[in-house]
């Protein structure tokens, strides 16, 4: 394999990996505050892309994206108010089924709002044919946007959780919800905030990747599955692990193309994940206790 | 469960078969069933097909039907699931007692109900492309899309004229892509084309730079992509982004101007075979298909406010063939079957149909026109 | 004997329904009911794993597909042109000659042989996969089983032997005995309905006995608290594994029979969404409620296969999931749900009044 080819695969892997990591981070945010895996996370990305595309018909692109992210975060809040809060004492399985139901419902509603056609946002800079040469590997300028914005999101989240009051309150909920309540933190609102945040991140991810991967009413589910895979790989609840896991899976998939028939590409990442899980049941960086606690 | 509850449940269950009312056929209507993938992964096929069929049925009925009989069109949404297609086929045949079924949209579904329709002596006019639907020939089963083999031939002919001999092939892992790949590989040697590398990707893949990097490394002179949306546009864009400035050929799955819009500037210069529907207005007046194409295009676009596609055209042809045969022979499946086989020179959207007992597709290599993209529009490819 | 009363009621219902349908000239309902019945086999097996042993399995469609594809491949592969191994199979009486839809005679493995092969394959895979996977817990187990399902899906979708995207068609009928065969032939519709009904009744009888036995109690103790169960001397990993393998066998057999009934199988039967729908139906039926799972499984599959909701099929399914998880999280078929509209309204009000802080930790 030549250096150019190698570099090409690396770039492709890292790009896809960042998108998976974004989805995984969305999962982790909600999981940390509530213990729920929100299978509708992929739908947030799809809604973000679709809404932005509709809005961009009469708004300048940055405004369309910003508004779309805002609207989808409202959808996240709505999901919490209308459904999550109505759960009584749910078992983990109840929550999984509920969010799966939500995911299906959102997807089908999107189908009836937007129909089945494939769309995409315009490229942020350049066009469909622009190409940047990096040491012999060629990428679209959109790839730089994806990497850049993902990096900013990850860094921004780290700062948010460390230095802002809301972020610290959310971490408190994740750590010990009863203690958090006793400290006067409104845990109910923290749950809503975490849904809104996860939805916003998902929507933004959906927007930045739309020019490259295109958006369709059912593009949320495969993304959610990949995101879940990465979240588990990195250890549920561990966002740094999610980033690492995303890059690992992205690179694995990209390089597997060069050795295996492409048909099995998706199976490769999962096989590796399963092997890792058998050795480390809590994921690469997950806590052992976390893996044991969650029961059905 | 207490005895009372059990008895109540039993009674409810028994009442059910009597309670559901059978749809009464309004006197003498001609019942036609359609199994299409209006939603789900093949919805870009099924949605325009369903719209087309409904539009045609409405038009025929408002013009007094066929010999005074209205068409009762029953459309079932299989969502691309062969299981549902089987269930609906049985439902349509046994319950609704349709005398013909149009569709399904995908080859996988068509193959699953081919046997059922043949045994039940119900006419099936499929809108799916696979050659195995009509080869081996089943007496009651027909199809309207052109054969993949012919598309592959046209592509290779153009390549030969351009002096291209070493190519790379990428195809999707669905029935359409696999059938195309098979035809391409079969025909290549006799046309003097060497396929240096042939890769299959997942039809839902969102990024094909990895696969294309492999092709680029093999130094091919052109790329054939055999797939449907969204991969078609993604391949075009990825190639340009990877700085691959070699010709890109697509299959006849590229049959909607939307895919050009999706690929934007990257679509310029793509060469592909397609039915003349896409360049309807620019055809010469004496072209046998022109009148049909222009009318369909205008009707469809004004009614549904979206661009016409060749997929809807396959459904149009199916209904057209059926109604032509019924006009000749009345609503009897055996007679209609024979009538279809005797159709010659019928101008549809996919081409001019000439059926026979051995040929249940009716289209030959001239059904295709080689098209290319210029200035964001489909134009005829001139070599 | 009291516990067999519901089963007898079910048997009576089955017979009466068929009689009613035949009388009303609506025999075609039996077709979709048969298909729904086979899916219920998978769901019943899954109820054992999820409801009683408390292990979530989001990849059960993989076992269904294993059964179906094994049967399909072995009964459509023409051995006439085969080598020494094929000749050996013929001479051992393992094969059968049948005419396919195009009039050609092919020699293929007898459906009994392929059924046996399917079960052996499924048991082996379930056993081998089960050992490491069942060590996982919670969401990790969900991911593990989901991943397993995806791998099988990809294998089935990407391999030429399995027909890739188009699957395998023209699967011949499965002759059981004395002229009764599992096949999609409309003439044998009533027969096939009873075959499916017998399978369902056998399965539920077996499972009801199982959960009422020592094994069932052991399973429930594992579900309740795995560590405590272990401390009481229950061999938790062996029970979990056995139940997992047993449920895989049910799914496999359902796959074999349904493939013969449908005359074919495709990769959509191994799809993630199929596995998810099985899990959802178990949850909606009430997790550890075999009857609930059976009823929900039959009803939902029946309606879906008849296209009752048309293009809104998926939306309705999603809506049902949400609705039941909100209002009937313990399952629909419970005694307390049948106490009359006043009680239901009460419950609706209390659900809508909830404001979060629901002890999610």
Residue B373 lies in a domain: no
What's the whole-number mean pLDDT along residues A15-29? Answer: 92
**Res A293 pLDDT > 70:** no
**Res A291 pLDDT > 50:** no
Q: What pLDDT does residue B161 have? A: 92
Measured between beta carbons, the chain A residues lying within 8 angstroms of B210 are 8-9, 12, 253-254, 257-258
What's the whole-number mean pLDDT along residues A183-189? Answer: 85
Please give the residue of chain A at the shortest CA–CA distance from C54.
A296
Put simply, the answer to whether B13 touches C17 (Cβ < 8 Å) is yes
Mean pLDDT (chain B) is: 88
B253 and B183, same structural domain? yes
* Contact (Cβ atoms closer than 8 angstroms) between residue A32 and residue A24: no
Residue B313 lies in a domain: yes
Looking at the complex, does the CB of residue C349 fall below 8 Å from at least one CB of chain A?
Answer: no
Which letter, b or e, does each residue of C328-342 get, where b requires 16 or more Cβ atoms within 10 Å of its Cβ? Answer: bbbbbbeeebeeeee
Residue B46 lies in a domain: yes
Distance CA C174, CA C134 (A): 34
Distance CA C306, CA C301 (A): 8
Put simply, the answer to whether B91 touches C306 (Cβ < 8 Å) is yes
Distance CA A27, CA A31 (A): 6
Please give the residue of chain C at the shortest CA–CA distance from B134.
C102
Put simply, the answer to whether C17 touches B136 (Cβ < 8 Å) is no
Q: What is the pLDDT of residues A61-79, one digit of tens each?
A: 999 999 999 999 999 999 9
Q: What is the pLDDT of residues B148-203, one digit of tens each?
A: 889 999 999 999 999 999 999 999 888 888 889 999 999 999 999 999 999 988 88
Measured between beta carbons, the chain A residues lying within 8 angstroms of C276 are 100
B268 and B156, same structural domain? yes
Cα C166 to its chain centre, rounded Å, is 22
**Res C170 pLDDT > 90:** no
**Res A243 pLDDT > 80:** yes
Element (H, E) at C46: helix C29-47
Measured between beta carbons, the chain B residues lying within 8 angstroms of C266 are 82-83, 108, 112
* Contact (Cβ atoms closer than 8 angstroms) between residue B120 and residue B333: no
* Contact (Cβ atoms closer than 8 angstroms) between residue C257 and residue C182: yes
What's the whole-number mean pLDDT along residues C95-122? Answer: 82
Classify residue C319 as exposed, middle or buried by CB count within 10 Å of its CB (0-12, 13-18, 19+). middle
Q: Among candidates B102, B318, B112, A82, which has minimal Cα distance to C354? A: A82
Q: What pLDDT does residue B24 have? A: 46
Most C CBs within 10 A among A28, A105, A109, A223, hence the mutation to make, goes to: A105
Nearest to B241 among A117, A131, A263 (CB): A131
Residue B154 lies in a domain: yes
Classify residue A258 as exposed, middle or buried by CB count within 10 Å of its CB (0-12, 13-18, 19+). middle
For residue C183, give the DSSP letter.
Answer: -
Residue listed under structure tokens 């139940």 = C243
Please give the residue of chain A at the shortest CA–CA distance from B207.
A213
Domain boundaries, position B46: 30-146+293-365
| Beta strand pairing call for C95-99 and C174-177 | unpaired
Give the rounded percent of residues in chain A with a pLDDT score beyond 90: 37
Most C CBs within 10 A among A116, A274, A289, hence the mutation to make, goes to: A274
Distance CA C319, CA C312 (A): 10
Nearest to B264 among A8, A128, A254 (CB): A128
Measured between beta carbons, the chain A residues lying within 8 angstroms of B207 are 12, 15-16, 212-213
Q: What pLDDT does residue C227 have? A: 78
In angstroms, how far is the first alpha carbon of chain B from the final one? Answer: 78
Domain tally for chain B? Answer: 2
Looking at the complex, does the CB of residue A86 fall below 8 Å from at least one CB of chain C?
Answer: yes
What's the whole-number mean pLDDT along residues C113-134? Answer: 93
Distance CA C79, CA C107 (A): 5
Element (H, E) at B197: strand B194-201
Distance CA A50, CA C32 (A): 37
Instruction: Tell me whether the omega of the peptide bond preceding residue B136 falls within 30 degrees of 0, making it cis.
Output: yes
Residue C95 phi, psi (nearest 5)? -120, 170
Q: Give the number of A-C residue pairs with CB atoms closer than 8 Å.
A: 175
Please give the residue of chain B at the shortest CA–CA distance from C269.
B83
* Contact (Cβ atoms closer than 8 angstroms) between residue C95 and residue C79: yes
Put simply, the answer to whether A139 touches B241 (Cβ < 8 Å) is yes
Q: What is the pLDDT of residues C66-87, one digit of tens each?
A: 999 999 998 888 777 667 777 7
Q: What is the pLDDT of residues C274-331, one digit of tens each?
A: 999 999 899 888 777 888 889 888 888 888 888 788 788 889 889 988 988 888 877 7
Residue B104 lies in a domain: yes
Put simply, the answer to whether A8 touches B213 (Cβ < 8 Å) is yes
CA distance A42 to chain C (A): 15
CA distance B94 to chain A (A): 30
ipTM: 0.87
B163 and B236, same structural domain? yes
Residue listed under structure tokens 């729908």 = C277
Put simply, the answer to whether A263 touches C223 (Cβ < 8 Å) is no
Please give the residue of chain A at the shortest CA–CA distance from C281.
A97
Nearest to C262 among B15, B83, B108 (CB): B83
Nearest to C164 among B39, B90, B173 (CB): B173
Q: What is the pLDDT of residues B200-234, one digit of tens each?
A: 888 888 888 888 988 988 889 999 999 988 889 99
Query: A139 pLDDT band (50/70/90 cuts)?
Result: confident
Put simply, the answer to whether C143 touches A229 (Cβ < 8 Å) is yes
For residue B122, give the DSSP letter.
Answer: -
Distance CA C211, CA C48 (A): 8
Measured between beta carbons, the chain C residues lying within 8 angstroms of A34 are 360
Q: What is the pLDDT of residues B81-124, one digit of tens each?
A: 888 899 899 889 988 889 899 989 998 899 889 988 988 899 99
Measured between beta carbons, the chain B residues lying within 8 angstroms of A212 are 206-207, 234, 237
**Res B51 pLDDT > 90:** yes
Report for B7-11, B156-160, C158-162, C346-350: range of highest mean pLDDT? B156-160
SS3 label, residue C60: coil
Give the per-residue SS3 of chain A.
CCHHHHHHHHHHHHHHHHHHHHHHHHHHHHHHHHCCCCCCHHHHHHHHHHHHHHHCCCCCHHHHHHHHHHHHHHHHHHHHHHCHHHCCCCCHHHHHHHHHHHHHHHHHHHHHHHCCCCECCCCCCCCCCCCEEECCEEECHHHHHHHHHHHHHHHHHHHHHHHCHHHHHHHHHHHCHHHHHHCCCCHHHHHHHHHHHHHHHHHHHHHHHHHHHCECCCCHHHHHHHHHHHHHHHCCCCHHHHHHHHHHHHHHHHHHHHHCCHHHHHHHHHHHHHHHHHHCCCCCCCCHHHHHHCCC
B118 and B108, same structural domain? yes
Looking at the complex, does the CB of residue B218 fall below 8 Å from at least one CB of chain A?
Answer: no
Residue B85 lies in a domain: yes
Put simply, the answer to whether B206 touches A129 (Cβ < 8 Å) is no
Question: Is A3-293 CATH 1.10.3470?
Answer: yes
Please give the residue of chain C at the shortest CA–CA distance from A274.
C144
Q: What is the CATH number of the domain that holds B328?
A: 3.40.50.2300
Residue B282 lies in a domain: no
Q: What pLDDT does residue C105 have? A: 76
Classify residue A42 as exposed, middle or buried by CB count within 10 Å of its CB (0-12, 13-18, 19+). buried
Put simply, the answer to whether B16 touches C311 (Cβ < 8 Å) is no
Put simply, the answer to whether A278 touches C135 (Cβ < 8 Å) is yes
Please give the residue of chain B at the shortest CA–CA distance from A130.
B241
Residue B24 lies in a domain: no
Looking at the complex, does the CB of residue A214 fall below 8 Å from at least one CB of chain C?
Answer: no
Residue ranges per domain, chain C?
2-309, 316-351
Query: B303 pLDDT band (50/70/90 cuts)?
Result: very high
In C172-211, the residues whose Cβ lies within 8 Å of chain A are: none
What's the whole-number mean pLDDT along residues A36-56? Answer: 93
B152 and B139, same structural domain? no
Please give the residue of chain A at the shortest CA–CA distance from B211.
A257
Residue listed under structure tokens 């599992």 = C182
Distance CA C258, CA C252 (A): 10
Residue ranges per domain, chain A?
3-293
Residue B298 structure tokens: 């205008």
Measured between beta carbons, the chain C residues lying within 8 angstroms of B91 are 28, 31-32, 306-307
CA distance B140 to chain C (A): 13
Nearest to B240 among A9, A128, A266 (CB): A128
Query: A287 pLDDT band (50/70/90 cuts)?
Result: low
**Res C361 pLDDT > 50:** no
Q: What pLDDT does residue C47 have? A: 92
C-alpha angle B343/B347/B350, rounded to 5°?
105
């Amino acid at each position: 394999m030549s250096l150019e080819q190698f570099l090409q695969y690396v770039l492709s892997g890292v790009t896809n990996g960042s998108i998976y990591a974004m989805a995984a981070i969305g999962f982790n945010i909600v999981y940390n505050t509530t213990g729920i895996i929100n299978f509708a996370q992929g739908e947030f990305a799809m809604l973000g892309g679709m809404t932005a595309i509709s809005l961009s018909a009469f708004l300048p692109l940055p405004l369309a994206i910003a508004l779309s992210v805002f609207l989808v975060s409202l959808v996240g809040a709505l999901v919490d108010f209308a459904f999550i809060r109505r759960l009584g004492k749910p078992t983990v399985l109840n929550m999984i089924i509920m969010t799966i139901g939500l995911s299906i419902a959102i997807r089908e509603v999107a189908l009836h709002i937007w129909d089945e056609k494939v769309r995409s946002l315009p490229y942020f800079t350049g066009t469909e044919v622009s190409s940047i040469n990096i040491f012999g590997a060629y990428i679209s300028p959109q790839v730089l946007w994806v990497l850049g914005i993902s990096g900013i999101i990850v860094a921004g989240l780290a700062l948010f959780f460390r230095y802002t009051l809301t972020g610290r309150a959310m971490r408190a909920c994740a750590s010990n919800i009863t203690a958090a309540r006793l400290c006067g933190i409104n845990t109910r609102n923290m749950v809503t905030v975490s849904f809104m945040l996860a939805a916003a991140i998902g929507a933004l991810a959906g927007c930045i990747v739309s020019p490259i991967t295109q958006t369709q009413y059912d593009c949320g589910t495969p993304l959610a599955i990949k995101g879940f895979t990465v979240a588990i790989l990195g250890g549920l609840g561990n966002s740094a692990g999610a980033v690492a896991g995303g890059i690992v899976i992205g690179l694995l998939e990209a390089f597997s193309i060069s050795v295996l028939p492409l048909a099995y590409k998706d199976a490769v990442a999962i096989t590796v994940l399963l092997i890792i899980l058998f050795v480390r049941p809590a994921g690469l960086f997950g806590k052992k206790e976390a893996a044991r606690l969650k029961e059905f | 469960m207490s005895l009372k509850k059990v008895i109540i449940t039993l009674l409810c269950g028994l009442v059910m078969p009597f309670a559901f009312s059978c749809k009464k056929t309004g006197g003498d209507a001609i019942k036609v069933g359609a199994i299409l993938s209006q939603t789900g992964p093949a919805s870009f096929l099924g949605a325009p097909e369903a719209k087309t069929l409904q539009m045609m049925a409405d038009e025929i009925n408002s013009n007094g039907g066929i010999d005074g009989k209205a068409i009762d069109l029953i459309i079932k949404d299989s969502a691309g699931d062969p299981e549902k297609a089987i269930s609906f086929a049985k439902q349509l045949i046994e319950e609704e007692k349709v005398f013909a079924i149009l569709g399904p949209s995908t080859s996988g579904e068509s193959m699953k109900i081919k046997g059922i329709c043949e045994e039940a002596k119900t006419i099936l006019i499929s809108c799916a492309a696979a050659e195995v639907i009509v080869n081996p020939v089943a007496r009651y089963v027909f199809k309207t899309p052109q054969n993949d083999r012919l598309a592959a031939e046209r592509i290779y002919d153009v390549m030969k004229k351009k002096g291209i001999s070493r190519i790379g092939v990428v195809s999707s892992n669905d029935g359409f892509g696999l059938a195309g790949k098979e035809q391409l590989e079969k025909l290549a040697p006799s046309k003097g084309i060497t396929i240096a590398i042939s890769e299959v990707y997942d039809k839902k893949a969102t990024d094909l730079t990895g696969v294309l990097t492999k092709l680029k490394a093999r130094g091919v002179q052109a790329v054939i992509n055999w797939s449907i949306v969204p991969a078609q546009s993604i391949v075009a864009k990825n190639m340009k982004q990877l700085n691959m400035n070699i010709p890109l050929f697509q299959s006849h799955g590229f049959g909607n101007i939307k895919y050009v819009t999706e690929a934007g500037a990257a679509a310029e210069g793509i060469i592909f075979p397609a039915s003349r529907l896409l360049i309807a207005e620019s055809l010469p007046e004496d072209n046998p298909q022109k009148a049909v194409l222009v009318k369909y295009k205008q009707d469809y676009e004004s009614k549904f406010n979206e661009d016409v596609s060749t997929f809807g055209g396959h459904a149009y042809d199916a209904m057209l063939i059926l109604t032509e045969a019924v006009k000749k022979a009345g609503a009897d499946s055996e007679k209609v079957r024979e009538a279809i086989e005797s159709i010659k020179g019928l101008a549809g959207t996919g081409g001019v149909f000439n059926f026979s007992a051995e040929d249940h597709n009716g289209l030959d290599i001239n059904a295709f026109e080689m098209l290319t993209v210029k200035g964001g529009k489909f134009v005829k490819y001139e070599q | 004997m009291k516990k067999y009363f519901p089963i007898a009621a079910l048997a009576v219902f089955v017979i009466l329904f068929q009689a009613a349908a035949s009388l009303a000239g609506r025999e075609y309902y039996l077709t979709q009911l048969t298909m729904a019945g086979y899916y219920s086999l998978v769901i019943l097996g899954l109820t054992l794993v999820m409801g009683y042993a408390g292990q979530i399995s989001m990849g059960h469609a993989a076992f269904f597909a294993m059964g179906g594809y094994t049967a399909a491949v072995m009964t459509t592969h023409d051995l006439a042109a085969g080598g020494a191994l094929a000749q050996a199979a013929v001479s051992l009486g393992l094969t059968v000659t049948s005419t396919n839809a195009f009039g050609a005679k092919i020699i293929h493995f007898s459906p009994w042989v392929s059924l046996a092969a399917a079960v052996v394959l499924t048991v082996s895979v379930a056993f081998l996969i089960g050992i490491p996977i069942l060590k996982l817990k919670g969401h990790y187990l969900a991911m593990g089983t989901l991943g397993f399902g995806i791998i099988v899906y990809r294998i089935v979708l990407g391999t030429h032997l399995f027909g890739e995207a188009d699957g395998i068609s023209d699967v011949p009928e499965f002759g059981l005995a004395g002229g009764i065969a599992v096949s999609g032939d409309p003439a044998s519709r009533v027969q096939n309905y009873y075959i499916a009904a017998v399978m369902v009744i056998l399965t539920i009888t077996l499972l009801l006995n199982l959960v009422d036995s020592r094994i069932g109690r052991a399973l429930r103790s594992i579900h309740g608290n795995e560590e405590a169960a272990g401390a009481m001397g229950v061999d938790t990993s062996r029970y979990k594994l056995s139940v997992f393998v047993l449920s895989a066998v049910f799914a496999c057999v359902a796959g074999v029979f349904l493939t013969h009934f449908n005359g074919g199988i495709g990769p959509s039967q191994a799809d993630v969404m199929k596995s998810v729908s099985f899990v959802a139906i178990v949850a909606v039926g009430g997790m550890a409620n075999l009857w609930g799972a059976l009823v929900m499984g039959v009803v939902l599959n029946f309606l879906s296969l008849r296209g009752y909701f048309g293009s809104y099929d998926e939306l309705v399914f999603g809506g049902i999931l949400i609705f039941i998880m909100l209002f009937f999280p313990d399952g629909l078929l419970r005694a307390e749900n049948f106490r009359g509209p006043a009680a239901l309204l009460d419950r609706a009000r209390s659900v809508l009044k909830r404001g979060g802080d629901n002890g999610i930790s």
